[in-house]
């Protein structure tokens, strides 16, 4: 079955620790995205990537880093510089049709909690 | 940053009633308007992508309209059922990314 997988479902971070959230897709989509959701707020874009080895900052990139070494994978690292990391993180992908964006498909999400 | 607003934030509707809610977005530099349904413990799922002013789309009992000149979209649900309970997200598409509203949380009371 084609889809997007995220792991883990729950992640606990200690003070000063970097943690990495996994996102994998087998949809052969070009573009991938990371969003953060906080209670009462919409999805906010952290980083996105339209092609392998290239990515751009979204609206709230500070304290996060990403890589895009393979088309299928777009891991997100929450660094110790992110002072309020507790949130629900969603990964999405879309078939980038030359500037005309298609529907985004979402993974099941990872909930990050700080110990 | 585009500012996308949804209202109301939450809504309780009796089973069988019809309902609607609103998404407002900046009308300048508009590419498309997306609607998603997000059920608890599941991934957001696409409902509609709309691009043209006056566009109307329908999927079963759910329909949506689009006014790009004044910057709003309505989502309608006819004859609400318990399975319609979810958060409904709209997103305005810019050049390379979507900007989401905060969502409308719909609860259907049996």
Each residue's pLDDT tens digit, A14-71: 888 999 999 999 999 999 999 999 988 889 999 999 999 999 999 999 999 999 999 9
Chain B, window 36-75: residues with a beta carbon less than 8 angstroms from a chain A beta carbon:
42-46, 49
**Chain B residues lying within 8 Å of A9, measured CB to CB:** none
Please compute the mean of the pLDDT values over residues B2-13 and round it to a whole number. Answer: 92
**Quick one: pLDDT at residue A18?**
94
Measure CB to CB from residue A48 to each of B91, B93, B97 and give the nearest one.
B97
The per-residue pLDDT of chain B, averaged, comes to 93
Please compute the mean of the pLDDT values over residues A72-97 and round it to a whole number. Answer: 92
Residue in chain B closest to A38 (alpha carbons) equals: B102
User: Which tokens in the block code for residue A76?
Assistant: 């997100």
- Separation CA B75–CA B77 (nearest Å): 7
Q: Which residues pair with A91 in a beta bridge?
A: A34
Count how many Cα atoms sit within 13 Å of the Cα of residue B2 in the half-sphere of its side chain.
30
pLDDT value at A79 more than 90: yes
Whether A103 sits inside 8 A of B46 (CB atoms) is yes
Measure CB to CB from residue A45 to each of B46, B93, B97 and give the nearest one.
B97
Residue tagged 């309505």 (tokens): B74
Q: Does A16 touch chain B (CB under 8 A)?
A: no
Residues 6+ positions from B24 with CB-CB distance below 8 Å: B4, B5, B6, B7, B71, B72
Task: Please tell me the least confidently modeled range out of A7-16, A90-99, B68-77.
Answer: A90-99
Q: DSSP code of A100?
A: B
CA distances (Å), origin A69, targets A23, A74, A101: 12, 8, 22
User: Which tokens in the block code for residue B102?
Assistant: 């905060």
What is the separation of C-alpha A32 from the centre of its chain, rounded to a whole number of angstroms? 8
Per-position b or e across B49-76, b if 16+ CB within 10 A of its CB: bbeeeebeeeeeebbbbbebeebbbebe
Whether B100 sits inside 8 A of A43 (CB atoms) is yes
**Quick one: pLDDT at residue B1?**
47
Map A29-42 to HEC letters.
CCEEEEEEECCCCC
CB B97 within 8 A of CB A35: no
- Of B44, B30, B40, B105, the closest CA to residue B73 belongs to B30
Whether A104 sits inside 8 A of B46 (CB atoms) is yes
User: Which tokens in the block code for residue B15?
Assistant: 């089973």
Q: DSSP code of B83?
A: G
pLDDT value at A91 more than 90: yes
What is the separation of C-alpha A68 from the centre of its chain, rounded to a whole number of angstroms? 11
């Amino acid at each position: 079955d084609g889809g997007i997988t995220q792991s883990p479902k729950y992640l606990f971070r200690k003070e000063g620790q970097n943690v990495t959230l996994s996102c994998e897709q087998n949809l052969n989509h070009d573009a991938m995205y990371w969003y953060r959701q906080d209670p009462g707020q919409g999805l906010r874009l952290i980083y996105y990537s339209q092609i392998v080895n290239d990515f751009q900052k979204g609206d709230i990139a500070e304290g996060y880093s990403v890589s895009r070494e393979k088309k299928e994978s777009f891991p997100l690292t929450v660094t110790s510089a992110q002072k309020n990391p507790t949130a629900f993180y969603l990964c999405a992908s879309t078939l980038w049709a030359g500037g005309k964006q298609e529907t985004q498909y979402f993974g099941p999400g990872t909930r990050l909690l700080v110990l | 940053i585009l500012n996308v607003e949804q209202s109301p934030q939450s809504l309780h509707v009796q089973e069988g009633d019809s309902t609607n809610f609103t998404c407002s977005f900046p009308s300048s530099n508009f590419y498309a308007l997306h609607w998603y349904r997000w059920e608890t413990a599941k991934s957001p799922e696409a409902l509609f992508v709309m691009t043209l002013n006056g566009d109307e789309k329908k999927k079963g009992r759910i329909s949506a309209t689009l006014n790009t000149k004044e910057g709003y979209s309505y989502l309608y649900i006819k004859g609400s059922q318990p399975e319609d309970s979810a958060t409904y997200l709209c997103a305005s598409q810019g050049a390379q990314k979507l900007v989401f509203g905060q969502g409308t949380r719909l609860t259907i009371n049996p």
